[in-house]
């Protein structure tokens, strides 16, 4: 009887290990263009498209091959609003070095449009809606808090992640460390 229980436990552990291994293989086996390395959770990001508040859409794929600062924010989030001038300054200062900045609004479109009419920014804003929380979680935002910022190298790998407001000094260090 003890031997049978041990065999069942062993078989269960083997099945669990196989499931974990399969999931790891599935996440890391996504293909990328030659020379582009993809952080597995970020892989789907590059296939996404977002509406812009002013109309039209933009494709994340158009930003591939360039360093990217991706910021999740909401109009109702005081730290998000506070860091926007810092992000805007970073976008203008590092544009010549190839950096792209995208703010994905985890908010309703009307609130975002009204907010940007009063407080415009020079960087691209995408309307991620409340589904943006899921994307942020896939990119490492385990607490689902805002703001949340991810910096990507030109090859698509994640350089930095931060939950909470960023500063221009911090963003500058990230850009210079790549």
Span 122-168, pLDDT tens digits:
999 999 998 899 999 999 999 999 999 999 999 999 999 999 999 99
The answer for residues whose C-beta is within 8 angstroms of residue 15's C-beta and 6 or more apart is: none
CA distance 120 to 105: 14
Same domain, 23 and 85: no
pTM, to two decimals = 0.78
Same domain, 8 and 90: no
Confidence of residue 42 (pLDDT cuts 50, 70, 90): low
**Which residue range forms the structural domain that includes residue 112?**
40-177
CATH code of the domain covering residue 79:
3.40.30.10
Bridge pairing between strands 68-73 and 49-51: unpaired
Same domain, 110 and 150: yes
Tokens representing residue 92 in the block: 């203008």
**Does residue 24 sit within a domain?**
yes
**Strand-pair partners of 124:** 102
Same domain, 2 and 75: no
**Does residue 90 sit within a domain?**
yes
CB atoms within 10 A of CB 107: 22
Confidence of residue 104 (pLDDT cuts 50, 70, 90): very high
Which pairs count as long-range contacts for 153-158, CB under 8 Å and 24+ apart, including other chains? 153/67, 153/178, 154/65, 154/66, 154/67, 154/98, 155/35, 155/36, 155/37, 156/32, 156/36, 156/37, 156/38, 156/39, 156/42, 156/46, 156/64, 157/37, 157/38, 157/39, 158/39, 158/42
Same domain, 119 and 168: yes
Same domain, 167 and 134: yes
Cα 169 from chain centroid (whole Å): 20
The total domain count for the chain is: 2
Same domain, 47 and 131: yes
Same domain, 48 and 93: yes
Same domain, 97 and 22: no
Same domain, 81 and 6: no
Confidence of residue 20 (pLDDT cuts 50, 70, 90): very low
CA distances from 114 to 75, 89, 117, 119, 165 (A): 9, 21, 5, 9, 22
Same domain, 50 and 21: no
**Does residue 148 sit within a domain?**
yes
**Does residue 35 sit within a domain?**
no
CA distances from 102 to 36, 105, 127 (A): 20, 10, 10
Cβ distance 73 to 41 under 8 Å? no
pLDDT tens digits, residue range 64-86?
999 999 999 999 999 999 999 99
Same domain, 96 and 47: yes
Model confidence at 172: pLDDT above 90: yes
Cβ distance 88 to 121 under 8 Å? yes
**For residue 26, what is the enclosing H or E element?**
helix 2-28
């Amino acid at each position: 009887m003890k031997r049978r229980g041990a065999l069942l436990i062993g078989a269960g552990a083997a099945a669990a290990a196989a499931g974990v291994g399969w999931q790891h293989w599935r996440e890391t086996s996504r293909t990328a263009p030659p020379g582009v390395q993809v952080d597995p959770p970020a892989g789907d990001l590059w296939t996404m498209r977002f509406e812009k508040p002013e109309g039209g859409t933009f494709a994340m794929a158009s930003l591939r091959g360039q360093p990217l600062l991706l910021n999740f924010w909401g109009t109702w989030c005081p730290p998000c609003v506070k860091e926007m001038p810092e992000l805007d300054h970073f976008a203008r200062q590092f544009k010549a070095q190839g950096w792209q900045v995208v703010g994905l609004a985890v908010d309703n479109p009307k609130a975002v449009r009204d907010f940007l009419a009063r407080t415009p920014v020079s960087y691209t804003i995408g309307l991620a809606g409340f589904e943006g929380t899921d994307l942020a979680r896939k990119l490492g935002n385990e607490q689902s808090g805002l703001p949340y910022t991810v910096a990507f190298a030109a090859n698509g790998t994640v350089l930095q992640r931060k939950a909470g407001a960023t500063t221009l000094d911090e963003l500058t260090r990230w850009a210079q460390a790549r």
